[in-house]
Amino acid sequence: MPTTGPDSASRALAELARCLDHTLLKAGASAAQILKLCQEARHWGFASVCVPPSFVPLAVAELAGFSVAVGTVIGFPLGYQTTASKVFEAEQAVAAGAVELDMVINLGQALDGGLDQVEAEILAVVAASGAATVKVIIECCYLTDELKGILAEGVVRSGAGYVKTSTGFGSGGATLDDVRLLAGRVQGQIGIKAAGGIRDLATCRAFLAAGATRIGTSNGVAIMAELLRGAAL
């Protein structure tokens, strides 16, 4: 016999939806696919859509009047653009209406020990982003645990809103151990976004339990449908 009623099921759906960034960043993404992404985000009440920079105006127009945020990416996916380029990207994205920006750090610089430069770049992008929320992708799959923690603390100091595990384009995606490590270092001062390989409800729930506060996934609709099926049982 079900132990939850319609109201609690609706709450569970809404709570999970507000943790999901509905994402489409494939090279061949089309305008029709972006429109579909936005329509799905409206239907489910996702926290945001994350779209390529060129599609920000389309997503902003499609989501006008809805509570779904429009996000995009900066220095994506490799992060080795100049700081000036990333700052320009951020300014352009905000001018087009984006309110969430997922930026990739200069990974080579971080691995070479240039942590002051990495932090200075994050600060510059945050400054250029105005009121928009910046999520800093540190691409954990290439880092030692020590470096992950140091970078996470730098993200806190920078004034960014989130530290993010992965682009989804690297050699590995999010791991529960990485999320736990980041949660221990940021201590609730900023959010943690897990992304890369999160494709089902059980995995999504595991990352949220580990300390993630936002999930980036291209499988948001399937995850919500899975939760809806479970609530109906």
Active-site amino acid positions: 102, 164, 193
DSSP 132: S
Query: CA–CA separation, 57 vs 231, rounded Å?
Result: 36
Choose among 125, 116, 115: nearest CA to 72.
Answer: 125
CA distance 137 to 227: 28
Dihedral angle sign, alpha carbons of residues 50, 135, 223, 25: positive
Residues 46 and 22: beta-carbon distance below 8 Å? yes
Cα 12–230–196 angle (5° rounding)? 70
CA dist 19 to 6, 24, 45, 135, 191, Å?
A: 20, 16, 10, 14, 11
**Residues 199/217, Cβ–Cβ less than 8 Å:** yes
Alpha-carbon Rg for the chain, nearest whole angstrom, is 17
The CA distance from 144 to 123, in Å, is 23
Q: 3-class DSSP state for residue 173?
A: coil
Could you tell me where the DSSP H helices lie in the chain? 6-17, 31-44, 56-62, 83-96, 107-111, 115-128, 145-158, 176-186, 201-210, 220-232
